[in-house]
Chain A
Amino acid sequence: MTKKSQGANEDQVKEPKRKIVPLKSQKEAKEVKSSKKEEDLLLDSGTDSDYDGCSLSGSLNSDDFDSEDDFDSHRETQDDSGHEGSDEVIDSENGEEEDGSDDEGSEQREVAEESDSSEDEVAPRNTVGDVPLEWYKDEKHIGYDITGKKITKKEKQDKLDSFLATMDDSKNWRKVYDEYNDEEVELTKEESKLIRRMLKGEAPHADFDPYAPYVDWFKWDDAIHPLSSAPEPKRRFIPSKWEAKKVVKLVRAIRKGLIKFDKPEEEPNVYLLWGDDSASDQKSKHLTYIPPPKLKLPGHEESYNPSLEYIPSEEEKASYELMYEEDRPKFIPKRFTSLRSIPAYENALKESFDRCLDLYLCPRVRKKRINIDPESLKPKLPSRKDLRPYPNSCYLEYKGHTGPVTSISTECSGQWIASGSTDGSVRIWEVETGRCLKVWQFDEAVKCVAWNPLPDFPILAVAMGVDLFFLNTELGTDEEQQRIEELLRLDNLPELDEAAAAIAKWLPDEKYRGIKIRHFKNLSYIDWHPRGDYLSAVMPGGETRGVVIHQLSAHSTKRLPIKMRGLPVCTLFHPNHRGLFIIATKKYVRVYNLHKNGEPIKKLETGLREISSMAIHPGGDNLVVGSKEGKMCWFDMDLSSKPYKILKNHPKDITNVGFHRSYPLFASCSEDSTAYVFHGKVYSDLNENPLIVPLEILRGHSSKGGVLDCKFHPRQPWLFTAGGDSVIKLYCH
C-alpha cells in the first residue's frame, strides 16, 4: 500500500462529509435511474444514449432496478440488511462510485485484483473501442470481434419473459447487463462483498487496514552530498523580477484604493443602560452634552416582599408622620404575600409627570469648576533641610530681669550679650552659660542698649528717658581699659554750637564713671556707626530735630543737615557706604548722604501704616522694614522703591527685625510672642532676585508682653529673643 492511498483513506475517515457522500451518490443514482426508466419505457434497447460511460466497464441496466423502489425504501432495506433491496442499491452504487472517481477506480483496480483477473480471463469480445454505443443502436450487430466478424446482437427477449425469468432466477440480483459486449455478467460473491464494503464507506479490499501504523520511510536528515553537482543558479540569488512587478501592481492598486483591507470589526452598539452617562458616546457627538439625571436604582426595600428588616415598625411609621414632608422618606417599604395582592401604584402618573418635568425643565448649564491643586499654587521653595543651619530650638535662658526686657545687644565676639529692661537694670550675660556678669541699676526704664561694634572697645550705650549713657563694661584687656577710661573722662568739653547744645548736653556720670548725655526729648532708639565712633539717637518727640549724631571721640553732638519730614522711628548707618544714613519715619524710609551735606538719595515707599523697626542686610542693598500691623517689607534698594516682597506673618505688631551678620538669615519678632526666622539669601548676581524662605516659628515666650527684641548671635546661627516675660532666650541651630 502506498503512502498516498493511505493518506486519502485517512482523509475519508476524518471527513465528516464522507457520510453524506453515499447519500449524494444515491441521489444521483436515483436521478439516473429515473431517466433510464423513461428511456427504458421508450426504447426497449439496452443502450443508453445519454450515458457517456467512457471509463465504465459495465453500464447500468434498468432491468436491475425495481421500478416501484423508492430511495427511502432502499435505505431502509439497506439498514435492515434485507437482501434484495440492498443488493440492488449496491449495484447502482458500484456504478456511480466508479464513475465518480477515476482515482479511486485505479486504486480499486489494484486492490480488487480478483475482479481484474476475471476480466483478464474474459477478454472483451467487442473491438469497436471507445466509441459511443449509440452508433450501433440501429445496427444488427454491436461491434466486431477480434477476427473482424460482426457480433450480432442477442435476440431481445420479450419484456414479460425477461421479467418472468428474473422472477424465476434467484441469482438475478447479481446479474449485470454489459451493454458493450451485449451480455449479462453475473457478479461473483467476492465482487458483491467488495461493493457492499464500498457502500459502507470501508476500504474495498477486506485485507486493507486503514489504521495501520505509519512508517516513515523518508530520510529526513540532509544528505551529505548534493544531488546535483551543478552550481547554484543565479536566479536563486537575485530577487524575482516578476514578484517585484506583482508587488508594484498590488501597491498601485492599494494606492488607488482598488484593494481595500479588512475594516476593523464594528463594536456592537450597546451601552450600559444604568451606567454613568459621562463616559458615553453621546458626549462626543454633542458639543456640550449634559446627561439627564438618573433615577435611583431600585433596591431590596422596594421589593414587594422585602426582608423583615426593611419594614419600618409602627413607631417608625409614626415618627415619619411627625417629620416634615421633605424629610420624610419617599418610599416606605411594605410587604405583600404575593405579587397578585399588590395594588396599583398610586403615584405612578404623578411621578412620571414629575420626571418629565425634571428632564426638560432642569437647568442644563455646565458649572465651570476649576480643579487646581492648591499645592501647585504655592511657590516652589527649597526645603528647609537644605537651608540649615538656622535657629530652631531653645536651649538656654537668661533669667534675672524683673521687668520686660526691652532691648538686647550682642557683643561682636559673641561671648556676651547686654540687655535692658523696664525695671531699670542693664545686664551683661555670658552667652555660653547664661550667667549674669554685671548689673547696672538705673531709675528709669531702659529703652535701648547698643554695644559698640568695635571688638577692642567694649562700651555699652544705653538709652532711657532723655538720657543716653556710655558705660564701661570692663571686659577688655588692661590697655583697652585704659583707653576707654580716658575716653570716658569729660575733661575738656568742646564748645557746642547753640542749636546742638539745646538738644543734648554732655555730662559725667558719677555713679558708674561713664558719660551721660541729656537730651531735650525722650529717646527711643540708638544706633552705632559701624566704625564705633558715631552714634545716632532718635527722639520721636523732637520733630525736625528728632535725630542727632553724637561723636564719642570728640564728645560732641551734631544736628543733621536734613529737613525732617514726619516722625522719625529708627535710623541706620549704611554698613558699607560710610556716608549713607537711613532714616525711617512712620510711612517712608529715606536715604541721605551725610558726606554731601545731607543730600537725599532715595525714598522707599513702604505702603505700611506705621513702621516700627528696620534692619539692613550686611551687603547694604537690601532692607527689611517691620510694621505695627504685622507686615514686613523686603526692599531691594537697587531694584525699586517699592517693596520686593511683603510678608504678612505676625498677627500683632512687629517689634523688631534683624539680619544675621554672616549667615543668610533674618528674623522678626512680634508682640504675639513669637519670632519668625527666614532664609534671606542675596545673590551677588544682580539679575537674580533675593530668595526668601520662611524657616521657623520660634515660640516659647509666655503670651504676656510678647517678644520685644531679637538679635542674632554675631558668629553662630543663633537668635536671642527678649521677652515681655523678662526672660531672654537663646535659640540654637
Chain B
Amino acid sequence: LEAIMDGGGEDASKVIHVKFVTKLDSPFQAPSSSVVIPSNVTRLGLSSIVNSLLTLEKHEAFDFLIDGELIRMSLEQFLLAKGISAERTLEIEYIRAVAPRKEEKPSLHDDWVSAVDGSSSRFILTGCYDGLGRIWSSPESCTHILEGHSGAISSIAFVSSEGAENVTVATAAKDRTLRLFKVDTAESGDPTTRVGAYKILRGHKASVASVAAQKYGSKICSGSWDCTINLWDTDEATSELSVAGKRRKGNNQAEETQLEGEAENTFVGHTQCVSSVVWPEHDVIYSCSWDHSIRRWDVPTGKESMNLFCGKALNTVDVGGEGSALVAAGGSDPILRVWDPRKPGTSAPVFQFASHASWISACKWHKSSWFHLVSASYDGKIMLCDLRTAWPLSVIDTHKDKVLCADWWKGDSVVSGGADSNLRISSGISIS
C-alpha cells in the first residue's frame, strides 16, 4: 500500500478518504476503517490497494462501485463526472471482477457451431451446420449426437432440462423443420450415442431460425424465415400423424415410430424473418425480426401485446435483468441495445453497448444477476457487459472467426460457438 501511496505521492495534495465495503464473504472482507488514497488511481490501483488490505495469498482482481456505477476511469475523473464531493469519506463497494479465469479446451465440431444452449447445468447443447445436434457433459466429451436434420441446425433448446434422467431437446433447422429428441442421460455410453428424433414438426415454409421452450410446460415456439412464429406441442400423445420411422445406422431406437406434428398456433405479424424467439414467462413470448421490431406475444390469445421499433435488423433478443423485464437485442449493427418496456411513452433504449465491431449474433442475460449480459459478435469477440458501466467488463477473444452463438452455463461460464467450428467454454466468472 505504501508503494502505491508513494507512487501517487507527486500529487500529494489530491487525496481522497475512502472506505471499502463489500458484500463478499470472509476471505474478501477488508477492514472497515477509512483509507487515504491518491485521487488519480484507476480500477487497477484500487484493486491492488484492496489486495494489500486483504493480504490474500493469491492476487484477486476486484471491480469497484460508487453509487451503483462501476469505476472505469481514474477516481478523480469519475468523481468529477458524477459530481460527487471528494471531501467526505467515500464509500466504495468492491466486487470480484467479472472476467473468465479459466479457458477450457475447445470442443471441435465438423462444421460451424450455430447454436448453443447452456440452460441445463449438466449439459451443453450445440447445434451445428452439419445438421447434427450434440450434447456435451463436459468440454471435449460429447455424450450424444442428435441426428435427422437435412439442413444446418440454427437453434437448439432444452424443453425440460432439469427433469429426471430423460431430457427432451428441440432443434430448429434450415430444412424448415423442428425435431424433438428424447435423450436418456443415464446411458452415457462411451462411443457417443446417436439419437433420432421422436417427433418432427413440419409447418414452416422457410428455414426455421430460432426455437424456444416454455419453462415449465410442454410447448415450444419457433421463429422462421416465413415471417411467422409457430407454437408446437412436444407431447407424444397429442400428435395426430405418425409415420413409420426409417431405419438409421447405429441407432438402437430405430424401430420406434417417428411422429409428425403440426403447429398448434401461428402468430402472424412480423413482416420479415423472425430471427429469434424467447419464452421467458409462462404466457409471454418475445420475438425479434429483421423487420426492425421486437414484439411481445400473449400466448393464449396469440395477440401482439407490445411492439418495440429498433431501426436495425435484429438477430437476437433476450429478456432478463431487473425484474426479468429488460429486453436486450442486437442485430445488424455493432450496438447492443437494452430497452425497458415498463417505461411509458418512450421506445428509446435505456442502455447501449457499442464496443463490438460487427453484427451482434447473440446476447444473453445472466440468469441470476440483474446487470450482466453476454454478447457475441461477428468480429470474433464475446463481451461481458454490465448495465452499470458502458464499457465491457471483459472481452473473450478466443474464437478465430465469427461467433455465432453464446450462452451462460452454470452461472459462472460462458459457452460459445462460432465459424471456427469450435465450442469454447470460458469458466470461472464470479458473479455475486
Chain A contacts to B: CB under 8 angstroms: 389, 393, 395-396, 413-415, 432-435, 477, 715-716, 718, 732-733
Contact = CB atoms under 8 A, between A and B. Distances in A.
Nearest to A394: B358
Nearest to A415: B225
B176 A477 contact: yes
A396 B358 contact: yes
Contacts of A396: 358-359, 378
Contacts of A414: 272-273, 290
Contacts of B358: 395-396
Contacts of B114: 433
A716 B419 contact: no
B333 A395 contact: yes
B187 to A, nearest CB: 34
Contact of B313 (A393, A433, A477, A716): A716
Contacts of B176: 477
Contacts of B395: none
Contact of A395 (B225, B273, B359): B359
B290 A433 contact: no
B315 interface: yes
A279 to B, nearest CB: 51
A732 B332 contact: yes
Contacts of B205: 477
B206 A413 contact: yes
A389 B331 CA distance: 15
A433 B154 CA distance: 11
A389 B312 CA distance: 9
Nearest to B332: A732
5 contacts: A395-B334, A395-B358, A396-B378, A434-B419, A715-B272
B404 A433 contact: yes
Interface in B274-303: 275, 290-291
Contact of B315 (A389, A415, A432, A716): A432
B7 interface: no
B37 to A, nearest CB: 43
A414 B271 CA distance: 12
Interface string B41-80: 0000000000000000000000000000000000000000
Which interface residue of B272, B313, B315, B378 has the most chain A CB atoms within 10 A? Answer: B313
A415 B311 CA distance: 19
B399 to A, nearest CB: 14
A414 to B, nearest CB: 8
B102 to A, nearest CB: 29
**Chain B interface mostly:** loop
A732 B419 contact: no
Contacts of A435: 112, 129, 419
Given A432-B315, A716-B290, A732 B404 contact: no
Interface of B: 112, 114, 129, 176, 205-207, 225, 272-273, 275, 290-291, 311-313, 315, 332-334, 358-359, 378, 402, 404, 419
A397 to B, nearest CB: 10
B312 A733 contact: yes
A432 B272 CA distance: 13
Contacts of B332: 395, 716, 718, 732-733
A389 B311 contact: yes
A455 to B, nearest CB: 9
B273 A415 contact: yes
A732 B333 CA distance: 8
A432 B332 CA distance: 9
A623 B404 CA distance: 40
A435 B112 CA distance: 9
A415 B227 CA distance: 12
Ranked 9 nearest A-B pairs via Cβ: A395-B358, A732-B332, A395-B359, A716-B313, A415-B225, A715-B272, A477-B205, A477-B176, A413-B225
Given A396-B378, A413-B206, A716-B290, 18 more contacts: A389-B311, A395-B332, A396-B358, A396-B359, A413-B273, A414-B273, A415-B207, A415-B225, A435-B129, A477-B205, A715-B272, A715-B290, A715-B291, A716-B332, A718-B332, A732-B313, A732-B359, A733-B312
A432 B129 CA distance: 14
Nearest to B291: A715
Contacts of A716: 290, 313, 332
Nearest to B333: A732
B137 to A, nearest CB: 28
A415 B174 CA distance: 11
Nearest to B129: A435
Contacts of A477: 176, 205
B335 to A, nearest CB: 12
Nearest to B315: A432
A435 B130 CA distance: 13
A395 B335 CA distance: 12
A69 to B, nearest CB: 94
Nearest to A389: B311
- The residue in A396, A414, A432, A477 that gathers the most chain B C-beta atoms within 10 A of its C-beta is A432
Contacts of A393: 333
- In this complex, which of B205, B332, B402 has the most chain A Cβ atoms within 10 angstroms of its Cβ? B332
A477 B206 CA distance: 7
Contacts of B419: 433-435
Contacts of A395: 332-334, 358-359, 378
Contacts of B273: 413-415
A715 B315 CA distance: 15
Nearest to B359: A395
A733 B331 CA distance: 11
A733 B332 CA distance: 8
B373 to A, nearest CB: 20
Nearest to B404: A433
A733 B129 CA distance: 28
A338 B205 CA distance: 108
A396 B291 CA distance: 19
A350 B402 CA distance: 85
B359 to A, nearest CB: 5
Contacts of B275: 432
Contacts of A413: 206, 225, 273
A724 B275 CA distance: 32
